[in-house]
Amino acid sequence: MSRLPRIELNPVRASMVAQPSEYVWSSYQINALGKVSNLCTPHCLYTALGINDTERQATYRRLFTSHVEGELLEEIRAATKSGMALGNDRFKSELTSLTGRRFHTLPPGRKLGWRKS
């Protein structure tokens, strides 16, 4: 469920629409606003959001109230892609101490002087 806001907001980030409800190919209108569609069936995670349609729709809309934008979104994507931790330097140092694993990226290429003459 946590990926849905990111997916539903892609047309907004791409400046195709101002709100996810404006994108006609989105399931947002169905899940958040109760639009009827024969093309979509509710996912079990969606039905678990509430005891009735009104509650599920309200809960679904709340998923979109604090979506991530800009630089933080890029940092999250980079950390996910590289398998690195996301946090400040102190946090990463503590993780390194606890696990013995490096949690920061290194510059590309080999170190200077790696080849002995």
Predicted confidence (pLDDT) per residue in 27-84, tens digit: 999 999 999 999 989 889 999 999 999 999 999 998 887 666 667 777 888 888 888 8
| pTM beyond 0.75, yes or no | no
Residue ranges of the alpha helices (H) in the chain? 4-8, 10-13, 28-33, 44-47, 53-62, 70-82, 89-99
